[in-house]
Amino acid sequence: MEGHVPRTHYSKEIRPEMDGEEVVAAGWVHERRDLGGLLFLILRDREGFVQVTLRKDRTSEKLLECVKRLSKESVVSVRGIVRSDKRAPNGCELIPKEIKVLSVAETPLPLEVSGRIRSELDTRLDVRFLDLRIPRNREIFRIRSEVLKAIRRFLDGRGFIEVNTPKIVAAATEGGTALFPISYFEREAFLSQSPQLYKQMLMATGLDRVYEIAPIFRAEEHDTTRHLNEATSADIEAAFADHEWVMRTLEALIASVYENIRENSSGSLEVLGVELPEVKPPFERITYTEALELLAERSVELEWGEDLSTAAEKTLGEIMGAHYFIVEWPTSVKPYYTMPFESREEVCKAFDLMHPRMELASGSQRIHDYEMLRASIERCGLSPESFKFYLDAFRYGMPPHAGWGLGVERLLMTMLEIENIREVILFPRDRKRLVP
Ligand code: AMO
């Protein structure tokens, strides 16, 4: 790097109007083409490609040799003069004065980076650093960054405060899903499945409206295209709010994220070949009982009190065709912290937000009464003693509250029509994958 001039322009910033200007472009050797009197070096950077043109009769032997020896995917910087030329990809080319080889790529490459050959996902994930050089795969992460910004912008605008809760915890929150145990000095601890208990405890502090975007860890054994063992959840909790209020917040947030991505990520969407549909709240709401009736009409029979199977979700998705909520769940299906309806205790104030392809979020109004919560924990076969740190927060003034958790990867994969959840997280963790 000694004497190296830093990059002055990304590829897309080099324009025909800059004819005659000196710039420094830098990136990876995408391709080299030898056309008799001309040698082309196609340089790739985050924003696109630059054509570096070497006229053999007017270029020094040293420079020509340097380019001829370059292996694909080596990293170089090129100082040169912009020359407008309609035939070149961006309407201009770069006539090099100096080429610096910053890093030589070994051959052969473990993955075809041109993107012309689609490799198996497993192969791609093994060499993710190469896989993400393919524009289509990399653009997902620019959109992901925009999605996270859009979520934050929306919640900040509604008076939510961003918080960070511990990921090393002492107790389970979600009942059904398994925990990853870890050794914590002389005790056993777990990786957090959900910020549930902490975001609820924060409702006793007067912070009132909080959100967190963080990893959740689930020791689920299944190997599907929509489950990860380390996923990202966007969680909210709001005091003096009910399930209806947080459902309205959720549908408005989804619509706002779609709108933001349409506006701010049009280039990335184009690379992915995705056109976002209009998403307009309010989303349709059906009760759990209505869902069972709709399913029965399609010969998918479920007992009242059973959770929806994957097949049931799929059939419902076909019927509903857009985002929708399933409300009024059987109390027995949902976790102990869920508030039942006063008049019908067998039904609770829980909801799932569904995309036609899968569940995106779930939430509820919570039980805020200490005795009632204690009893509910016991009824679920859990020990109130191990929840003491949580239950105590309900003893000295706890407002009514509600919240939800939204799977960020699921939001992305449904939005971008991506089949496998592993594509929308940088380094997926699943049953078989712990590296890279
Ligand atoms: P739940 O367990 O339904 O609810 O999780 C909320 C959302 O997180 C996403 N999600 C996952 N995504 C990928 N892989 C997984 N293994 C995985 N598990 C969950 C889903 C799901 O809808 N405490 C409640 C939320 C609340 O009530 O506030 C909870 O965690 O998109």
Q: In the chain, what are the domain boundaries?
A: 11-103, 131-424
Q: Would you mind telling me the total number of residues written for the chain in this entry?
A: 436
Q: In what order do the strands lie in the sheet with 187-191?
A: 168-169, 187-191, 181-184
Cβ–ligand 1 distance for 21 under 6 Å, the answer no
Q: Which CA distances in Å does 79 have to 30, 34, 176, 184, 264?
A: 17, 20, 59, 54, 31
Question: pLDDT of 90-111, one tens digit each?
Answer: 899 999 999 999 999 999 999 9
Instruction: Grade residue 1 by pLDDT with cuts at 50, 70 and 90.
Output: very low
Distance CA 281, CA 283 (A): 5
Q: Which of 307, 313, 362, 412 to mutate to test the pocket of ligand 1 (most atoms within 8 A of CB)?
A: 362
> Which string of b and e fits 94-107 if b means at least 16 CB within 10 Å?
bbbeebbeeeebee
| CATH 3.30.930.10 correct for 131-424 | yes
Cβ–ligand 1 distance for 410 under 6 Å, the answer yes
Same-fold call for 11-103 versus 131-424: no
Distance CA 219, CA 23 (A): 51
Q: Which atom of ligand 1 is nearest the CA belonging to 236?
A: 28
Angle at alpha carbon of residue 358, lines to 355 and 361, rounded to 5°: 75
Instruction: Grade residue 24 by pLDDT with cuts at 50, 70 and 90.
Output: very high
DSSP string, 267-306: HHHHHHT--PPP--SSPEEEEHHHHHHHHHHTT----TTP
What is the average per-residue pLDDT within 289-318?
A: 96
Cβ–ligand 1 distance for 428 under 6 Å, the answer no
Average pLDDT, the chain: 95
What is the average per-residue pLDDT within 240-269?
A: 98
Q: Which of 221, 233, 367 to mutate to test the pocket of ligand 1 (most atoms within 8 A of CB)?
A: 233
Q: Please give the distance, rounded to the nearest whole angstrom, from the Cα atom of residue 84 to the centre of ligand 1.
A: 53
Cβ–ligand 1 distance for 307 under 6 Å, the answer no
Catalytic residues, which ones?
218, 220, 226-227, 359, 362, 410
pTM for the complete prediction? 0.96
Q: Could you tell me the CATH superfamily of domain 11-103? A: Nucleic acid-binding proteins (2.40.50.140)
List, in order, residues 6 or more apart from 36 with CB less than 8 Å away.
Answer: none
Instruction: Grade residue 186 by pLDDT with cuts at 50, 70 and 90.
Output: very high
Question: pLDDT of 363-399, one tens digit each?
Answer: 999 999 999 999 999 999 889 998 999 999 999 999 9
Q: Which atom of ligand 1 is nearest the CA belonging to 337?
A: 27
